[in-house]
Amino acid sequence: MPYSNIQHRSFIDCSLSERLLFTCYLLLIGSAYLMAMYYLYTSHQGHDGKPGVSIEDVADTYYGNRSGTRLEAAIRGPMAAYIQTEDRHIIVEWLKNGTPEKDYSTVIHPILSKTCLNCHTLASGMGLPDLSTYSKIHEVAKVDTGESIHTLVKLSHIHLFGIGLVLFVLGYIFILTILPGWIKYPLIVMPFLAIFTDILSWFLTKWDPIYAYTVVIAGALLGISLSLQILISLYQIWFLRSDTVAIDKESKPETKAHANHTNNSILKTYQVVIGVCLTASFLVSMAAVKLSPRQKENQRLEKVKNILLVADLYEENSNIDAIYQQSIETQWLNLETGTFLNKSTDRFNKLSLDALAKSEQYGENIPSKQDIAHIKRRPKYMPIYFVKNGGQLQKIILPVYGKGLWSTLYGLLALESDAKTIAGITFYQQGETPGLGGEISNPRWQKLWQGKQAFDANDNVAIHVIKGEVLSNSATAISQVDGLAGATLTSRGVNNLVRYWLGHHAYGPFLQTLRRQDDE
């Protein structure tokens, strides 16, 4: 039969049985989608400690809140309603102290028994993390890096298979609608593009939290296209009149020449699809631009929080800006001269360490023989944070960074006022393997640094991250830190970056001057 004589079916041509079947399916899918939205809301909201779902909540789901542990993120976020505030503070404090086993049976286990263990055991059959024993607690007392790649892959293939089938059936029903091609074709394609973009954005957000915006926008496009398909189909199933069929371009025989000039042409369809994609890209870009000030403010607050954490000044639900202003004094050090800048440093505060290092004016190359941190370039000027109480120096906080196995490790190293005893260390940005090199963000491992001597009697850098465990009876134990099991290269990277920044080519001369002043 010639193509021009084919008549396309519409809902008018469907029997009552078909209409009832289509209606039941559309209503079922619509209800399922609303339930899915409610589930996403309840499972994502509260990760940032605030009511409602925010971009930060979505980012925390996939990227994680890397300043805390998985258990802490859960009891502050989606599980906060199931645990009393006082009990939550007790567990958080226990986590920050390195999860000492002596407190587990007497303090922590009773809290978990009354709040968590009805669901969080293997016997519950709910597939939730098991919190019934101390060893199981360790699995969720690690730094929160969001959903694992394994989990994302598992969720992805389930979503792609399941939602793909749903979209195919829904689209097949939607084909029976009578609409201009420039509306119908994009609406058929859009949900497939949206779900693919949404799932791809999970992995991108795991890499960089900025892609959380793409997750939200792709999800919104999926919801809009599904809603339009369902609502338009339901309307035309029951309210479309037969005299309106004539307006459908698809139901009219057309010559090939005329078809090239209609809105149903393939060229027009491609134009609309490309337009939808460009519009989505524009919306993502606009969202990034509009939310850039908020993102920068969040980055500033995260920086302040990490400085207070390593200074042991951070208090939950406190005004961190007020604590910072009261206790922290920032000065910019000229690394070459070992002296502080007297002129305005506002221009430095607006740039990251990477931006300073890459700048021709404010950065410089590091000779290869000196570059044990493998960063190639560094800023000429670095911020030093002095922790003071009543005008008396308590701690010195030094920004440090260098290459690990897979990523650049950014951290803060705190020294006591003697400028040689390590008070603490934290890594606020890293991309090492979770459970292996990623353990550098684990509070338990970071606690091993406290009290270690960074320098020997001759002012040489003495601190070392060794392979294996430190022997307590060793003469050099006071300057050694346990290496991470299964993460030799990451441990070596931490060792190299700390030794570089404490060395004679970085903070060394400045710290030596401080020690001499202290001796006097």
Q: Determine the Cα–Cα distance for residues 149 and 172; give it in Å rounded to an integer.
A: 33
413 vs 54, more confident: 413
Structure tokens at 14: 């469907």
Other C-beta atoms closer than 10 Å to the C-beta of 97 total 12
Close Cβ partners of 402 (under 8 Å, ≥ 6 residues apart): 373, 374, 375, 408, 409, 493, 494, 496, 497, 500, 501
pLDDT for position 465:
92
Integer Rg of the chain from CA: 30
Most confident of 97-101, 336-340, 418-422: 418-422
pLDDT for the residue 50: 59
Of the ranges 257-261, 370-374, 390-394, which one carries the lowest mean pLDDT score? Answer: 257-261
252: pLDDT confidence band, cut at 50, 70 and 90?
Answer: very low
Report residue 385 as tokens: 């944070």
CB 373 within 8 Å of CB 501 = yes
Token pair for 414? 């705190």
Q: What residues contact residue 162 under an 8 Å CB cut-off, 6+ apart? A: none
**How much of the chain exceeds pLDDT 90, in percent?**
24
Where residue 486 falls (left for φ over 0; alpha for ψ -120 to 50; beta otherwise) is left
- Interior/surface letters 170-189, b for 16+ CB within 10 angstroms, e for the rest: bbebbebbbbebbebbbbbb
Return the residue matching tokens 């190639």. Answer: 376
pLDDT of 421 > 90? The answer is yes
Q: Which residue has the tokens 């193509």?
A: 3
CA atoms of 386 and 324, how far apart (whole Å): 11
H-run or E-run covering 397: strand 392-403
Task: Name 443's Cβ contacts closer than 8 Å, sequence gap at least 6.
Answer: 69, 95, 96, 97, 98
* DSSP class of 467: S
Position 121 scores a pLDDT of: 78
Alpha-carbon span 23 to 45, nearest angstrom: 33
Q: Tell me what pLDDT residue 272 has.
A: 62
Judged by DSSP in three states, 43 sits in helix
DSSP state letters, 424-475: EEEEEE--PPTTTGGGGG-HHHHHTTTT-BSB-TTS-B--EE-SSPPPTTST
The set of residues, in sequence order, having a beta carbon less than 8 Å from that of 328 and lying 6+ positions away, is 307, 308, 311, 385, 386, 387, 388, 397
Report CA-CA distances (Å) from 129 to 116, 152, 161, 204, 394: 10, 17, 26, 25, 41
φ, ψ for residue 385 (rounded to 5)?
-110, 120
| Rounded Cα gap, residues 354 and 352, in angstroms | 5
pLDDT at site 213: 85
pLDDT tens-digit readout, 116-169? 877 877 776 666 777 878 777 776 766 566 777 888 888 888 888 889 899 999
Say what the pLDDT of residue 78 is. 65
Q: Does 43 have pLDDT greater than 80?
A: no
The Cβ-side half-sphere exposure at 394, using a 13 Å CA radius, reads: 14
Q: Which of 56-60, 118-122, 163-167, 242-246 has the highest mean pLDDT?
A: 163-167
Which range of 181-195, 208-222, 242-256 scores highest in mean pLDDT? It is 181-195
Phi, psi of 461 (to 5 degrees): -65, 125
Q: Return the exposure string of 203-231: e unless at least 16 CB atoms fall within 10 Å of the residue's CB, then b.
A: ebbbeebbbbbbbbbbbebbbebbeebbe
Residues 109-128: tens digit of each pLDDT: 888 888 887 787 777 666 67
DSSP letter string, 196-208: HHHHHHHHHHHH-
The span from the CA of 162 to the CA of 164, in Å, is 5
User: In this predicted model, which residue has the larger pLDDT, 49 or 501?
Assistant: 501
Question: For residue 265, what pLDDT is reported?
Answer: 53
Helix (H/G/I), strand (E/B), else coil: 424: strand
Using the predicted structure, report yes or no on whether residue 464 has a pLDDT greater than 90: yes
- What is the overall mean pLDDT for the chain? 81
Name the residue type at position 475: A
Contact 93, 331 (CB under 8 A): no
Q: At what angle do helices 181-207 and 149-174 cross, to 10 degrees?
A: 180
Cα 137 from Cα 393, distance rounded (Å): 38
20 vs 8, 23, 386, 514, CA distance in Å? 20, 5, 73, 83
Using DSSP, state whether 455 is helix, strand or coil.
strand
pLDDT band at 259 (very low <50, low <70, confident <90, very high): very low
Query: If DSSP codes are grouped into helix, strand and coil, which group holds residue 414?
Result: strand
* pLDDT tens profile 429-454: 888 887 788 888 888 899 999 999 99
187-216 average pLDDT score: 87
Q: 464-465 and 480-481 as β-strands: parallel, antiparallel, unpaired?
A: parallel
Phi, psi of 435 (to 5 degrees): 85, -15
In three-state secondary structure terms, 263 is coil
User: pLDDT higher for 118 or 362?
Assistant: 362
- The C-alpha atoms of residue 501 and residue 374 are separated, in whole angstroms, by 12
